[in-house]
Amino acid sequence: MLEEKQGTIAEIIFHNNENGYTVAVFETETEAFTAVGNIPSASVGRGYVLRGEFITHQTYGEQFSVKEFEEIMPSTKDGIKEFLSSGAMKGIGRKTASAIVSRFGIDTLKIIEQEPQRLTEVSGIGKKTAQRIAEAFGKHREFANIVLYLQQFGISADYAMKLYQVYGADTVKAVEENPYRLVEDVFGIGFKKADKIAEKMGVAEDDEFRIKSGVKFTLSYFAGEGNTFLPQNILCEKTGQLLDLSIQLIEDELPAMAFSGDIRIENLDGRNVVFLEAYYMAEQNVCKRLAAINSAELKPISGGVDSLISRTENATGIYLSENQKHAVITSLNMGVSVITGGPGTGKTTIINTIINILEESGLKTAIAAPTGRAAKRITETSGHYASTIHRLLEYYFSESENMMRFGKTKEDPLDYDAVIVDEASMIDLMLMNGLVSAVRPGTRLIIVGDADQLPSVGAGNVLRDIINSEYIYCTKLTEIFRQAKESMIVVNAHRINRGEYPDCNAKDKDFFLLRRGSEKEMLETIKNLCLTRLPGYYKDVSPTADIQILTPVRKGILGSINLNKELQEVLNPPQPGLEEKQLGERIFREGDKVMQIKNNYQMTWKNLEDFTEGEGVFNGDVGFIKKVDREFNEITVVYDEIRYVTYHFNQLDELELAYAITVHKSQGSEFPIVIMPVSWFPPMLATRNLLYTGVTRGKKSVVLVGSENKLNSMVDNDRISERFSGLGIRLKRLMGMEGI
């Protein structure tokens, strides 16, 4: 049973305008306390009925946690004056509020609502101002009533605000007509939340809207697991389990959904499968565009390729193997080509040779990678500028559509003669669709990557599908070159990939296993390695900048969340002079290593080296907190030692501590030293290709901490979760058709 308190806000400690989250001192007739919760438009002097419960916060003590609220309109002259000038009514300051209340007294709010034209009786208020005040008051009351109405269905004030931003005055109507539409229309409201709302509204379990939403939710959930479609029988089974309905009821609804364009049903490789429309169209388009690019006539290279390769070799002093030369030649002669291989097999040398030949031939070349970290590494190793694929495609926010769009498209394609894309294992279907749509036929598209790395986070299995289809010509690099052979990191990466156990602790080498039994011992060893042992062994090593902990999991003693908490305590402990900001269980402190965890293409940055400015901070960018400014509620993060980005406190959900990150988050990066715990992890994560991916991130040294048996078990676990993806099947079909 919720406790009810009636009173006014005496002081605002914190208020987030975006979601209404408020920390305030609340006064009743008999007491004062700190209230915490979502109260949109909260301001000093406003009256409320709050419903909630008292809780004890470990840092801030006793607080009243607000679950529901109801605004009370003021009834005294002073109260009305405070309300009008509080900011709830934009355009009304203290002077205007006093004048209005002096004229109409306690009837002021009634006049504004029912006879707004009478406001012109107040000196200085004309018809337009009177109308604006009336509209502002109307919207305020409208929203307050909507919040009150929606609370009965378990919709909190912050969600009510999101709904109101989408539906406006029609919010209640929209929710009552079909609560499941909220899943698609309102960010942050998932199927389970909408289902609870629908249940409270009395929507039947077998309602068609519920089944349709359940089908789309199931397809979306499995897309999040990497699948572009689901076999129809699996979709119906999973949706039936979700909704607690019979499989037959789900099957009966699919034809109508296909007819309305919500889904696509297709016979693919002898079985009925179901796509969300967007993934179906993307697969079709990627196949069509790859075929067009692959078969188009290319601008010629200036001279024989063999002589151009020789000239480049002589200029650089780096000589190619026969297989490397073959990769260069096919990439220059084909519309689309793939080069794949593990570490030390010379992919970078091949890319540099191709770039030199293209430039010598006067052909305009773009180089790109899926992440900012990978693009930066290519720039450093090749000497040629590389960008993210998103930046190459001029990703932008379309205000008219309220969504992100690519500026470069089939209608406005990229103006290049060749596009080289590295780290292609990370490219998901939707990104590949954007890329091939913007590459015009006649452009060489050269795709480079390691197919044995973890697949993309997003849906699809693009690189493997393209390689396995055999439709696009692929050069596979297997030879490890002399210099790379000297590195046990490279040697062991290939051993792991072949299913062989790594050779650890060779004298004067760079690959180590520190055997520890318990997870607590592993944790303490990792902390000691970072704090003293590795900085003592490698004299030029920074514990935070050069050492990266990689882990398969987020939760548990050896998960990234706990590792970050523990490492922060030893590497950047609290001390006088270091400002910090607590956000829930997380603390952000000056000097902390942090990572951006979502692409933000509108976030501005300043380069303090040449004073340029730009936009875009990307998922996986790692930086350090330079300043925590509690006066302006801001944190400044420095990326790449020169790019300064300012985050408001309400944007801190885009940041995580990054002393430890998951192996998935490390894709496309290289770190001087990698430390990786080896313990019991869920079998779906304790896999050979996850271990391989983690090991290949290390440049100078890799240190595994844990059990040799668990390490060997990871090598033995060659489980690669099957992803349902139709791209490879479609490309094979194309090859079959062309062979007729």
- Binding positions are 344-348
For residue 27, give the 3-state DSSP assignment. Answer: strand
Containing 33, the helix (H) or strand (E) segment is strand 32-38
Nearest Cα neighbor of 494 from 345, 378, 351, 377 is 345
Going by the annotation, the residues of the binding site for ATP are 344-348
Contacts of 225 (CB under 8 A, 6+ apart): 721, 723
- Cα–Cα distance for residue pair 112/94, rounded to 1 Å: 17
Measured N-to-C along each axis, helices 727-738 and 462-469 cross at an angle, to the nearest 10 degrees, of 30
Give per-residue burial for 79-102: e unless 16+ CB within 10 Å, then b: bbbbbbbbebbeebeeebbebbbe
Residue 281: both structure tokens together: 């169209």
CA 149 to chain centre: 34
Q: Read off the tokens for 518.
A: 């318990």
Closest CA to 353 of 321, 330, 320, 379: 320
Q: Are 134 and 119 in contact (CB under 8 A)?
A: yes
Nearest CA-CA partner of 8 in 57, 44, 53: 44
Query: CA of 566: how far to CAs of 44, 570, 586, in Å?
Result: 40, 7, 12
Burial 586-606 (b: 16+ CB within 10 A, else e): bbbbbbbbbbbbebbbebebe
Does residue 621 sit in helix, strand or coil?
coil
Cα separation, 396 vs 409, in Å, equals 12
User: Tell me, what DSSP letter sits at residue 179?
Assistant: G
DSSP states of 294-336 as a string?
Answer: HHS--PPPSS-HHHHHHHHHHHHS----HHHHHHHHHHHHSSE
Q: Nearest CA to 113 among 78, 87, 145?
A: 145
E-only strand ranges, 482-612: 511-515, 547-551, 580-583, 586-589, 593-596, 600-607
Q: Which of 545, 502, 521 is nearest to 700 (CA)?
A: 545
Tally DSSP H helices, then E strands, for the chain.
27, 30
Query: What SS3 class is residue 204?
Result: coil
Quickly count: other Cβ atoms within 10 Å of residue 306's Cβ. Answer: 11
Rounded CA separation 377/384 (Å): 10
Residue by residue, DSSP assigns 111-125 as HHHH-GGGGGGSTT-
Residues in the chain, how many?
740
Say how far apart CA 565 and CA 3 lie, in whole Å.
35
Q: Are 530 and 549 in contact (CB under 8 A)?
A: yes
Give the CA distances from residue 72 to residues 48, 148, 192, 680, 705, in Å, rounded to whole numbers and listed in that order: 5, 11, 32, 56, 60
Euclidean distance between CA atoms 194 and 184, whole angstroms: 10
Q: What residues are paired with 33 via a beta bridge?
A: 26
Q: Distance from CA of residue 199 to its chain's centroid?
A: 31
How many Cα atoms occupy the beta-carbon half-sphere of 712 within 13 Å? 7
